[in-house]
Amino acid sequence: KDLTEYLSRFGEVVDCTIKTDPVTGRSRGFGFVLFKDAASVEKVLELKEHKLDGKLIDPKRAKALKGKEPPKKVFVGGLSPDTSEEQIKEYFGAFGEVQ
């Protein structure tokens, strides 16, 4: 929830997935955020430092499949094991719509 909330300031967040350990169910410390518009990814990357829950996070452009439109997805590393998908959507929603 926090990550989504934070990223929502960059644009509409369409989807947010935090990768978890299949055995323990705990966060593996990274995830993916899909924005409605590729321009939101640019907004995220323009800001050099991102902090969530007092911890520095490291968004990067996700690798696009060949022949696809510009990527709307960012890879987010350095997440706390306690960070939820809702936090991610909230954070990145500030940059644009998260799908």
Distance separating alpha carbons of residues 98 and 39, to the nearest angstrom? 12
- From first to last of its 99 residues, the chain has per-residue pLDDT tens of 788 898 899 999 988 888 888 888 888 888 889 898 989 999 999 998 999 888 899 898 887 665 566 667 787 888 888 888 888 888 888 888 777
pLDDT for position 15 = 87
Q: Could you give the number of structural domains in the chain?
A: 1
pLDDT for position 82 = 86
Q: What is the DSSP letter of 19?
A: E
Judge contact between 96 and 37, C-beta under 8 A. Answer: yes
For residue 18, the domain's CATH number is 3.30.70.330
Q: Which two tokens stand for residue 4?
A: 């989504």
pLDDT for position 90 = 85
Residue with tokens 């799908």: 99
* Strand, coil or helix: 50: strand
Q: What is the DSSP letter of 88?
A: H
78: domain range? 2-98
Sign of the alpha-carbon dihedral angle for 2, 14, 43, 30: positive
* Model pTM above 0.75: no
Distance separating alpha carbons of residues 50 and 5, to the nearest angstrom? 13
